[in-house]
Structure 1
Amino acid sequence: MENLIKELVTKMADDALILGHRNSEWTGLGPVMEEDIAFSSMAQDKIGHAWALYRMLQDMEGGQDPDQFAFLRPASEYKCCHLTEMPIGTYEFSLMRHFLFDHAETVRYSSLLESSFLPLRQLAQKVKGELKYHTLHADAWIIQLGKGGAESHEKMQAALDSCFPLAAGIFEPGPDDGGLSDVYPGEKVLQERWMENIYPVLTKAALNLPGEVTPAYGGRYGQHTPYLHALLEEMGEVFRQDPAAAW
């Protein structure tokens, strides 16, 4: 079971690290100062979650130094979903990604409050307040912009249409989710709970879920978009110059 737990923790950590970095790219570029600060704050939270998860992996048998594990792996060894890798694009794209991802994280960590794996249960308790803020922030803006006039609504619907197949890839089944039934309920159950959470918000925003979509799978098995390699090169540039340096 330990290897299965490592797979689960790694994909959670990689998702948080990569999306945290993407969200940080809005620093200084937000459409209003309030949003500039909000995205920067949420990026910091995400990277903090990633750090805690990488530390969790280090504490398990054979675990590596968190910094080296985060920055020195080749792209093919990352387990993040495709949604997190995409460039920030337009603000409506990043906002929709934030909405869909943070609701997914909320149902995942909520399920871990009852996990048999103590470190994940403790982390879930610690981050639930941050995730509550993230989803409240996302919900408010999705509703406001979805109902903000014809042009605003059109942009938000287009963002949902492009993000939704990518977001479905968050729930790509693991190699043996059934073997983790005591740890968490599995990706299928989490996706169902996620849909129950996002649907009422989208309805209030007058946004329509796309029809049948093909989920963007592959990320959990090391198959990534070209954007990830470029991002990893940028993220690890300073660390690779002297991995043994003390900061």
Structure 2
Amino acid sequence: MQIQQALPELLIKIADDELIIGHRNSEWTGLGPVMEEDIAFSSMAQDKIGHAWAIYRILQEHFEGQDPDQFAFMRDAAAYKCCHLVEMPIGAYEFSLMRHFLFDHAETARYQSFSQSSFTPLQQLAGKIKGELKYHTLHADAWILQLCKAGEESRQRMQGALDDCFQLAGGIFEPGKEEALLISENIYPGEQALYQQWLSTISPVIEKAGLIMPQMTAPVYGGRQGQHTQYLQQLLNEMGEVFRLDPEATW
């Protein structure tokens, strides 16, 4: 596989992850437990969608990709390469917070690696969003620690959320067929290296919170190959409902 095929596949899975989790997190707008948290979760959701749009623009400009809006809203579920973690419904607040914690630390590890990428547009994007990612992970860490110290019931609920999310989070690091080529071209270090970096980052927070780290025994793969849960197409139908009324409209 040539780099002109391998690199777009990497970009699509990253952008699709961000687009979908951005829309999932936006579902908490107006529902957050306190006003400040309502605003914070909504703001971070907007950041995620912005990151996705930036990568879709890279695909358009460097690989003759589609218009970002068309690409985001006009595909069927099987054409998406997002992991299963991001497409799951928001559930109870502890599930969304734990997903936020696990995903944002994975995203941060990925973009930190991109700061050394030989592909200049990725390197530049990593520099632009560095501050946003720092805020996102600080926010996630603070809430994990706060809720785990809020009493035994709260800690148990957070442990349950971690147990529910952990194998799904393993799917973030599903390896692709193109990985060896991307590593050899210094695009990024590969999924296993990112997974190890992620573990080393989240482990101290989980330990400090008094939670038990699950074993990664059955990471949920398939999303990178277009195999998705029933929830993704339902979300896509909602996301693209207005856009599909007139895809050529100028807003």
Check whether TM > 0.5. yes
Report Cα offsets for 1:165-205 as digits up to 9, x if no partner: 00010000011211001100000000000000000000010
Partner of 1:25: 27
Q: Does 1:35 align with 2:37?
A: yes
Conserved 8 A contact 2:83-2:222: yes
Report Cα offsets for 1:196-241 as digits up to 9, x if no partner: 0000000010001113420010000000000000000000011111
Q: Does 1:184 align with 2:188?
A: yes
Question: What does residue range 63-82 of structure 1 map to in structure 2 within 5 Å?
Answer: 63-82=65-84
The residue type paired with residue 64 of structure 2 is G
CA RMSD, Structure 1 to Structure 2 (Å): 0.7
Conserved 8 A contact 2:20-2:87: yes
Aligned partner of 2:206 among 192, 196, 202: 202
The residue type paired with residue 14 of structure 1 is D
Question: What does residue range 207-218 of structure 1 map to in structure 2 within 5 Å?
Answer: 207-218=211-222
Moved over 6 A (4+): none
Q: Does 1:233 align with 2:237?
A: yes
Report Cα offsets for 1:127-155 as digits up to 9, x if no partner: 11000000000001101111211100000
State the distance in 2 between where 1:176 and 1:21 align: 28
Conserved 8 A contact 2:95-2:161: yes
State the distance in 1 between where 2:135 and 2:112 align: 14
Conserved 8 A contact 2:173-2:191: yes
Partner of 1:222: 226
Conserved 8 A contact 2:85-2:99: yes
Conserved 8 A contact 2:170-2:216: no
TM-score by length of 2: 0.97
Aligned to 2:133, the other structure's residue is in SS state: helix
Unaligned runs of at least 5 residues, structure 2: none
Identity among equivalent positions (%) equals: 68
State the distance in 2 between where 1:220 and 1:212 align: 18
TM-score by length of 1: 0.99
Unaligned runs of at least 5 residues, structure 1: none
State the distance in 2 between where 1:203 and 1:246 align: 50
Question: What does residue range 34-113 of structure 1 map to in structure 2 within 5 Å?
Answer: 34-113=36-115
State the distance in 1 between where 2:177 and 2:24 align: 27
Partner of 1:138: 140
State the distance in 2 between where 1:128 and 1:175 align: 28
Partner of 1:246: 250
